[in-house]
Chains A and B, each alone.
Chain A
Amino acid sequence: MANFFPRWSNWLPLKISICGTFIVCGLTAGTWYYITPKYTRVGYQPIQPVPFPHDLHVSQLGMDCRYCHSFVDVAAASNLPNTQTCMACHTQVQKDNPKLEPVRASWKTGQPIEWVQLHRTPDYVYYDHSAHVNRGISCANCHGPVNHMPVVYHAKPHSMAWCLECHRHPENFLRPETQITNLDWKPEQENVASFVAKYGQPADAKDDWSKKQKLTQREIGQTLKERWNIQPPLNCQGCHR
């Protein structure tokens, strides 16, 4: 029987399998990196009708988040401020600033400003802001360092895996309820004596924590988790009701 495959075809299976391995690995790695919300959402910074500088208002002027997002601790949805909230100050301050023209127009016409929504939770997810901010989850945990953003951007992926990261181990994120809107809070800044006096310490902690120099996030989180009996839902119906 004559050869009907040329000699070079002996190498074909090896070549195909090597190329195939590279293509499959490349596609997997590419999908893994580029298709996830870590890539598609983080960094999203739409042009807003008014480039509201959170850094100026919060870090320099010392406004609290809840001055504008006034229902965040009592309602499921956090509200955007209405024009009247802006104009409470801006009838006096910067009243001729051309950047604020859309705000003044809205004030005159009564038409709300059309802010571009950044953080959009899908319809099939039940999310309650008040449940989180009243139990030790800061604005910064989900929205990033908004107090340092000249124009607000999407700082965290908001994927389900990201939600579960905290729902599975809330102790890595909890902070005292007085520090919720203090976006620059660091666990090591916490006054150990007053923290332990107020919240105690976990039942299985052996030594006396009030004698410590500083507390770690994990120690603070574990204390608060036990103190407040925090058991974030991990079943599907917890969020997909």
Chain B
Amino acid sequence: MDGATTAPDVIEGEASASVERPLARVPLVLNKRNFSWITERISGVIEANAPRWWWVAFAITSMVAMFGLFCLGYQISTGVGTWGLNHPVGWAWDITNFVFWIGIGHAGTLISAILFLLRQKWRTSINRAAEAMTLFAVICAAIFPGVHVGRVWMAWYLAPLPNNYGIWPNFRSPLLWDVFAVSTYFSVSVLFWYTGLIPDLATLRDRATTKIKKFLYGIFAVGWRGSNRNWRHYEMAYLLLAGLSTPLVLSVHSVVSFDFATSIIPTWHTTIFPPYFVAGAIFGGFAMVLTLLIPARAIYKLQDIITPQHIDKMAKVILLTGSIVGYAYAMEFFVAWYSGNQYEKFAFYNRIFGPYWWYWWVGMLFCNTVSPQLFWFKRFRQNIYVVYFVCMCVNTGMWFERFIIIVGGLHRDFLPSSWGMFYPTWVDIWTFIGTFGIFTSLFLLFIRYLPMIAMSEVKIVLPEANPHHASPAEHHTVAAGGKERT
């Protein structure tokens, strides 16, 4: 009886799906690509020999990374004095870079976790690369707080281990919360990324030609067979990890903002910091995702998978978060005026007209607030050059924003006698450039050895994966019938 009632629904649905509808959604994968095309195209990137540009790029980025590591070694062996930090600016590029990198990571988690829970199918084309970007950004971020403590071999003090000293870390310090927030974030992100990789690793294992590839992909595919049971467990694990990651998107950068918000420095002591920082993180992160994926899709001819629709949606996220950030900037000025607190007022006056004035005019105002407003217009969202330009503006602007918040808050102390400026040393500069080397080297290795697009997930959003999808032959007849009727 049940069968009788449901059967007509299915047929009806199938028929209506095949009729051309004026409001049909633009497909997520263009040009009617099928399962095998996706497997071939994405696995092909890994299975083909590395192109020459890859070697050139990797040589450059790894050299930059090595020099960055040398700078870190020099800084650790000589002391924090190799950085330009001094009174009154005790935090400068180190924490700026930390907040910058950790912020970038947030886009990956938002795409992979929140958009997954919200059933945003377009995420499947970009989530793998965005999550990888998250991990590499968190690695770059973790370097700075780890090293800026000076005696890095004492960094274990941050861990609440029972010890001979009979003391614990200061649990009331937001700097300690930061350690927990970032380490939790990294571990959950690694788990989430790796779980998502398992079916694709199995695909690569099955296609592998050399023994060593079979062995390595085989180990990491942990015996995946694609069975019903495998898929059920996988999907539950993925859902749970998405649930675990979702609060992290919001909590990690909130905790980072507490480093400042719980202090008493004017421009730091601000209650809007947590949402402001989270919006800024997603803003900067999406810009970095686009910065990496726009060239990658062009080089590897992935335009059918990462379509203009994807870029358009990411541009809209940038517009939204950029406007939230712009609102937060404005609100800071309003509160400084409305509070009547002379220190707060001075600090914000100093932000616009003080010695670091152009950081604000260029970084915060032009790059972060004005440039994303271009994305109100579809024409600009569809123009890859405009999109790339805005992303570069946002990448730059978000670094400047953190610098203005940190150094801008510190360089004008309460007492004019304690005023000072920050001048970066070559070690400061090259450590920062070095983290770009580390980041890009890791990303290049990632696109070389792992599928940069989640093959199994993209296949799920193809029409072929829909249980109601008609085979091409059937499709043809039904469509023809539909036309006759009209």
Contact = CB atoms under 8 A, between A and B. Distances in A.
Interface of A: 1, 4-5, 10, 32, 36-37, 159-165
Given A161-B167, A163-B166, A164-B167, 18 more contacts: A4-B211, A4-B214, A4-B215, A4-B218, A5-B218, A5-B223, A32-B162, A159-B164, A159-B165, A159-B166, A160-B166, A160-B167, A161-B163, A161-B165, A161-B166, A164-B165, A164-B166, A165-B166
Contacts of A159: 164-166
B206 interface: yes
B206 A1 contact: yes
Contacts, number: 29
Contact of A36 (B164, B167, B206, B211): B164
Contacts of B163: 161
A161 B166 CA distance: 4
Contacts of B211: 4
Interface of B: 162-167, 206, 211, 214-215, 218, 223
B206 A162 contact: no
Nearest to B208: A4
Contacts of B165: 159-161, 164
A34 to B, nearest CB: 12
A232 to B, nearest CB: 13
A84 B435 CA distance: 67
B164 A37 contact: yes
B243 to A, nearest CB: 25
A160 B206 contact: no
Question: By DSSP majority rule, is chain A's interface helix, strand, loop, or mixed?
Answer: helix
A7 to B, nearest CB: 12
A162 B166 contact: yes
Nearest to A36: B164
Nearest to B163: A161
A107 B265 CA distance: 66
A1 B221 CA distance: 14
Contacts of B214: 4
A108 B167 CA distance: 50
Contacts of B223: 5, 10
B154 to A, nearest CB: 13
18 contacts: A1-B206, A4-B214, A4-B215, A5-B218, A10-B223, A159-B164, A159-B165, A159-B166, A160-B164, A160-B165, A160-B166, A160-B167, A161-B163, A161-B164, A161-B166, A163-B166, A164-B166, A165-B166
B432 to A, nearest CB: 32
A159 B223 CA distance: 50
Contacts of A36: 164
Nearest to A38: B164
A159 B164 CA distance: 6
A143 to B, nearest CB: 19
Contacts of B167: 160-161, 164
Nearest to A164: B166
A163 B166 CA distance: 9
A213 B159 CA distance: 48
A10 B225 CA distance: 14
Nearest to A162: B166
A163 B211 CA distance: 60
Nearest to A234: B167
Contacts of A161: 163-167
Contacts of B215: 4
A159 B206 CA distance: 58
A32 B211 CA distance: 44
Nearest to B215: A4
A138 B165 CA distance: 22
A5 B217 CA distance: 12
A115 to B, nearest CB: 27
B235 to A, nearest CB: 22
Contacts of A4: 211, 214-215, 218
Contacts of B166: 159-165
